[in-house]
Amino acid sequence: MTRPKAADVGSPPPVSEDESDQPHAPRRARRRRSRVPGVSPRPSNAARPDLTAVAHHEAGHWVVARLLGSNVGMIEVGWDHVTESWGRTARGDIPDLYLKSHQIRTVEEALGDPGYRDAVERQATLTLAGPAAEAQYLNRRALRGARTDLVQARLLLVPFNNHQRAFDAHLRRIRRRARILVRATENWIAIMAVAQAVGRRKHLDLAQAIRIADTARVS
């Protein structure tokens, strides 16, 4: 039997860095494009969000993902025509990495493995950390992007619950964990620092984000 892929047990595909603008675009088109890699001009009919809130949302994903052992990368804000999003954070797929490093052959075996369950819960937590950080910054419930994150978290947790009541309790526990991690003093300081930097620069590579987050924690 073949080893199950993460997608077979409810895991969404990993988030990767967006491609930069094509280098051979017409001269006139290149002038209209942003100089920030991967960030393109927004369409004229797109409602511009609060980019500071978006920056906190993405910083929440990034800081908590790194804390929970996910491979992280760049973080950026600004309209991207490929993903049709205002913010992006490169982060890994913890459940998929767990499956690749363990001899798990079936979906049933994966769902019964405590280590795999922990990997899935960490992935769900970092997924919900974005809305949690945005809500913490706004002092109200996050709206933009929160629905997509919630759907992803639900897909991760559904296979572990046979009843609605059990699923609802599981989801509440993961959402509470995400809020606790975001609000922890050192984490929130790092989130604010990364959010401020990416809000100003629009793009941070991995080394820049790590330096900013670590400096904020010890200052």
Write out pLDDT tens, residues 43-62: 544 578 889 999 999 999 99
Kind of pairing between the strands at 203-204 and 85-91: unpaired
Query: Tokens standing for 118?
Result: 């922990």
The amino acid occupying position 140 is R
Q: Where residue 24 falls among pLDDT bands split at 50, 70, 90?
A: very low
Phi, then psi, of 146 in degrees rounded to 5: -65, -35
**What is the pLDDT, as a whole number, of residue 131?**
96
Domain 17-218: CATH superfamily is: Peptidase M41 (1.20.58.760)
**What is the pLDDT, as a whole number, of residue 42?**
53
The amino acid occupying position 90 is A
Burial 11-26 (b: 16+ CB within 10 A, else e): bbebbebbeebeeeee
**What is the pLDDT, as a whole number, of residue 213?**
97
The mean predicted confidence, pLDDT, of the chain is 83
More confident residue, 105 or 144: 105
Mean per-residue pLDDT for 194-208? Answer: 97
Chain segment 25-38, per-residue pLDDT in tens: 333 333 344 445 54
* Global confidence as pTM: 0.78
